A and B are shown apart, each in its own frame.
Chain A
Amino acid sequence: MKYIYLVVIFISGILLASDVKPINNQLALKECGSCHFAYQPGLLPKRSWKKIISNLGNHFGTDASLDKKDEQMLLSYFIKNSSDNSNQYLSRVITRYTRADKTPMRITTGVVFRRAHDELRRSTFLRKSVGNPGNCIACHRTAKRGLYNEDYVRIPR
């Protein structure tokens, strides 16, 4: 009997564990979630976040600048929780498959993202209800919790 409980706890532990650590910082949720889904720090290595967060004045062709104090606070939060400082499953995979001599600026151009979505057509990402590949939350309904498991995916029409 005891044994069954343990198995149940173990299995639900696996099911509930997130792939990346959810964001638990109000400033990051507010400032990095105003123009798009707030990507978890565990989706890119710290060298990427350094480059992204120190260039917010020219962020993918838009001005996302912050005052120095907020920028510094976000930088340390993103570095502390970057993929290479995290033990979560998806973060470890991303760290492992990102070439050490590259500093990716996007999640959506990385090997892990491309392999995970190789069965999807480009047009699926561009349809109106999705917009672009970076809109994780359009298909991954549990993305805010850091859960990207394919069981929770629903592609909108």
Chain B
Amino acid sequence: MMKKSFIVLFVFAILANANGFNPQMQQYINQLKTQAQKSKSNFVDFSAKRGEQIFVSEHIGKRGKNISCSSCHSTNLRQIGKNVHTGKSIKPLSPLANAKRLSRVKDVKKWLRRNFNDVYKRQGTAIEKGDVLYYINSK
């Protein structure tokens, strides 16, 4: 059992280097992939391009007004954003500009849950979450 989990971790570590997620995040991405395959049999991989659409498109949000992910995070993910509800500035979302981003699974899950609710008035699907994480990671 121990041995097996070490091998799994080792494989994750290699995968992590391949596309820049740390092992814990890669494990989360893999979970999302398994869910995605269940919901869509011809699912291949997440797409940063679809993720961009999810990120920049506007929707009637939780407050009944037009809002997008970029409303708070801007369209340049290496720049400082601004919370439209409170005016407080938000550190850049891109892991290239801010090494802490997309590094803690607990925080990523928490913010995806909150932010999808604020913009889409529902939870994101596994495919949507994977797409948007690929997009953020590519910026």
Which residues of chain A have a CB within 8 Å of any CB of chain B?
35-37, 60-67, 130-132, 134-135
**Residues of B contacting A130 in the complex (Cβ-Cβ under 8 angstroms):** 87
Does B30 belong to the interface (CB within 8 Å)?
no
**Residues of A contacting B114 in the complex (Cβ-Cβ under 8 angstroms):** 62-65
Instruction: Kindly state the separation between the CA atoms of A65 and B114 in the bound complex, as whole angstroms.
Output: 7
**How many residues of chain B are within 8 Å of chain A by beta carbon?**
13
**Residues of B contacting A64 in the complex (Cβ-Cβ under 8 angstroms):** 114
Q: Which residue of A lies closest to B86 (CB)?
A: A36
Instruction: Kindly state the separation between the CA atoms of A131 and B88 in the bound complex, as whole angstroms.
Output: 9
**Residues of B contacting A37 in the complex (Cβ-Cβ under 8 angstroms):** 88
Asked whether B110 lies within 8 Å of A61 as measured between CB atoms, the reply is no
A-B residue pairs in contact (CB < 8 Å), sample of 14: A35-B85, A35-B88, A60-B85, A61-B62, A61-B63, A62-B62, A62-B114, A63-B62, A63-B113, A63-B117, A65-B114, A131-B88, A134-B86, A135-B88
* Complex interface residues of chain B between 108 and 125 (CB less than 8 A to chain A): 110, 113-115, 117-118
Instruction: Kindly state the separation between the CA atoms of A61 and B63 in the bound complex, as whole angstroms.
Output: 6
Q: Considering residues B62, B83, B114, which has the most beta carbons from chain A within 10 angstroms of its beta carbon? A: B114
For the A-B complex with A37-B88, A130-B87 known, give 6 more contacts whose Cβ atoms are closer than 8 Å: A36-B83, A61-B62, A64-B114, A67-B110, A132-B86, A135-B87
Instruction: Kindly state the separation between the CA atoms of A131 and B64 in the bound complex, as whole angstroms.
Output: 21
Instruction: Kindly state the separation between the CA atoms of A135 and B82 in the bound complex, as whole angstroms.
Output: 14
Instruction: Kindly state the separation between the CA atoms of A70 and B90 in the bound complex, as whole angstroms.
Output: 22
**Residues of B contacting A132 in the complex (Cβ-Cβ under 8 angstroms):** 86-87
